[in-house]
């Protein structure tokens, strides 16, 4: 079977890397891919949002399964288009992807079905938003979010009324997050450990993947603005077996069931961003896709054939097979461009990749890289994910940091505390 992976990040490199290991697979393509995917797949120069061109390619090449990485093509309806043309694809429909596409839709859905989440209020004009801020609905810190896709960056944690007013101005007036600024969501600030809880669903059942903990803030200890994720470990130290059962029964299964009842059956990877609060797990947000970089340690730990799992989900029976994972731990550390998550320069030559990759157990997942004139250069904010699996988390992280120390590019920065206690929770400024 031939497989097409849509996207160009570290997540897509990890998916293509794992898919390539399947004995069922005769060819892997990645559209558009990156400097790393070209080593495990054939890169195809079609942008991930050019849905008609992707569908034409899949039809022409007789692709047996298309796997979509990023949220944008999903929210644009890539799955609907492929399915209407009879092309097998793994991912949620446009209507199901709204769980991520609109944070307000997701919050109202959770509220309507009494699935645990924090308190919230929505506003659709700057005046309405200012009135909400003036009413000081949930005290401080107050979380202010742009309602739409903002690559993990449209969330502002405000410590005062002045900061909340400024956030409203940035989102709704300055439109710093583009069209995502048409509406704004206010949320009570939830405290606890954050967990990325990701399942694969066939629309009816859900298969939980091994748990992960992301590190969203750019600086050590949770400081600075949020990013798409600076590093991930698996398993999450905040989730016991018992909690997995509770999350499946109290959050995941009701979400899958209610989405089906609302005529939005969710097939694909469902990512619940959870906060482990003193009152139990609560949903911070949903993503309609695999995590990035959560996928990297998950693929390092997955022992079963990913293609069989994805094909079973598409066929409607994701629980058909036992799935095996390594018992130990895995991690992925992101090496980012200078300035990320703000503006950054591209085209910096990356050195030390071969030395790093020669270290035992290290797998490099490329994200913002390009292969140009025989060299790898930076082409995005998150440049590389350094991954390793080991018997223990400490063992995996030691390997990872040793490898990261061998890689260099102008402006490179990364967190030094991935996998250390307390590193995963967001810390409001000043605390
Ligand atoms: P989201 O894109 O909605 O997941 O938000 C991005 C990040 O902001 C989350 O992963 C959390 O670290 C933080 N965050 C979002 N909402 C809240 C909240 N209500 N309370 C505390 N932290 C939050
Ligand atoms: N790492 C966070 C995300 O995938 O949204």
Which residue has a Cα nearest atom 4 of ligand 2? 291
Q: Which ligand is nearest to the CA of 427?
A: 1
Q: What is the pLDDT along the chain (431 residues), one digit of tens a residue?
A: 999 999 999 999 999 999 999 999 999 999 999 999 999 999 999 999 999 999 999 999 999 999 999 999 999 999 999 999 999 999 999 999 999 998 899 999 999 999 999 999 999 999 999 999 999 889 999 999 988 676 656 788 999 999 999 999 999 888 887 776 788 999 999 999 999 999 999 999 999 999 999 999 999 998 888 899 999 999 999 899 999 999 999 999 999 999 999 999 999 999 999 999 999 999 999 999 999 999 999 999 999 999 999 999 999 999 988 999 999 999 999 999 999 999 999 999 999 999 999 999 999 999 999 999 999 999 999 999 999 999 999 999 999 999 999 999 999 999 999 998 756 555 443 33
Q: Ligand 2 centre from 99 Cα, in Å?
A: 14
Residues sharing a CB contact under 8 Å with residue 245, sequence separation 6 or more, in sequence order: none
What lines the ligand 2 site, CB under 6 Å?
152, 214, 228-229, 287, 291-292, 294
Q: Domains of the chain, with CATH numbers?
A: 2-91 (3.40.50.20), 125-182 (3.30.1490.20), 193-404 (3.30.470.20)
In ligand 1, the atom with minimum distance to the C-alpha of 152 is 2
- Indicate the top mutation candidate among 145, 217, 228 to test ligand 2's pocket, ranked by most ligand atoms within 8 A of CB: 228
In the chain, helix, strand, coil percent, each to 5?
Answer: 30, 25, 40
Question: What pLDDT is recorded for position 427?
Answer: 46
Rounded to the nearest 10 degrees, what angle do helices 306-315 and 10-19 cross at?
100
Alpha carbon 156 to chain centroid, angstroms: 18
Q: Is the CB of 273 under 6 A from ligand 1?
A: yes
Residue that has been written with the tokens 């979400």 in this structure: 255
Q: Is the CB of 141 under 6 A from ligand 1?
A: no
Residue that has been written with the tokens 């930076």 in this structure: 378
Largest Cα separation within the chain, whole Å, is: 60
Q: Ligand 1 centre from 284 Cα, in Å?
A: 6
Q: Give the separation between CA 38 and CA 428, rounded to whole angstroms.
A: 40
Q: Give the separation between CA 337 and CA 272, rounded to whole angstroms.
A: 28
pTM of the predicted structure, to 2 decimals: 0.94
CB 411 within 8 A of CB 346: no
Strand-by-strand arrangement of the 120-123 sheet: 120-123, 184-188, 142-146, 155-158
- Indicate the top mutation candidate among 195, 426, 427, 428 to test ligand 1's pocket, ranked by most ligand atoms within 8 A of CB: 426
């Amino acid at each position: 079977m031939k497989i097409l992976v849509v996207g160009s990040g570290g997540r897509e490199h990890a998916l293509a890397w794992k898919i390539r290991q399947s004995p069922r697979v005769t060819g892997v393509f990645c559209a558009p891919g990156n400097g790393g995917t070209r080593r495990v797949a054939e890169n195809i120069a079609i942008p991930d949002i050019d849905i008609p061109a992707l569908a034409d390619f899949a039809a022409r090449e007789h692709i047996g399964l298309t796997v979509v990485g990023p949220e944008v093509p999903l929210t644009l309806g890539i799955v609907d288009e492929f399915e209407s043309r009879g092309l097998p694809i793994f991912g949620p429909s446009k209507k199901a992807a709204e769980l991520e596409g609109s944070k307000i839709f997701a919050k109202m859905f959770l509220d309507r079905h009494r699935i645990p989440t924090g308190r919230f209020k929505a506003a659709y004009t700057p005046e309405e938003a200012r009135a909400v801020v003036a009413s000081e609905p949930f005290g401080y810190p107050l979380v202010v979010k742009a309602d739409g896709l903002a690559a993990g960056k449209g969330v502002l944690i405000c410590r005062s009324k002045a900061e909340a007013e400024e956030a409203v101005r940035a989102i709704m007036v300055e439109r710093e997050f583009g069209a995502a600024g048409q509406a704004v969501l206010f949320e009570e600030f939830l405290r606890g450990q954050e967990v990325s809880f990701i399942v694969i669903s066939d629309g009816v059942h859900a298969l939980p993947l091994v748990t992960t903990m992301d590190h969203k803030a750019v600086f050590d200890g949770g400081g600075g603005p949020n990013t798409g994720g600076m590093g991930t470990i698996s398993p999450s130290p905040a989730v016991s077996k018992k909690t997995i059962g509770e999350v499946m029964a109290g959050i995941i299964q009701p979400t899958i069931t209610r989405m089906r009842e609302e005529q939005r059956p969710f097939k694909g990877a469902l990512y619940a961003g959870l906060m482990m609060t003193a009152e139990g797990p609560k949903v911070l947000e949903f993503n309609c896709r695999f995590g990035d970089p959560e996928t990297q340690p998950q693929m390092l730990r997955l022992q079963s054939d990913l293609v069989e799992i994805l094909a079973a989900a598409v066929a409607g029976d994701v629980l058909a097979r036992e799935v095996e994972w390594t018992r130990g731990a895995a991690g992925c550390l992101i090496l980012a461009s200078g300035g990320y998550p703000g503006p950054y320069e591209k085209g910096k030559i990356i050195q030390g990749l071969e030395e790093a990759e020669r270290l035992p157990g290290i797998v490099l997942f490329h994200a913002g890289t390009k292969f140009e004139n025989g060299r790898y250069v930076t082409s995005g904010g998150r440049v590389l994910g350094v991954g390793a699996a080991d018997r223990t988390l400490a063992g995996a992280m030691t390997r990872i940091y040793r490898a990261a120390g061998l890689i260099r590019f102008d402006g490179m920065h990364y967190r030094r505390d991935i996998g250390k206690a307390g590193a995963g929770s967001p810390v409001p400024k000043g605390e």
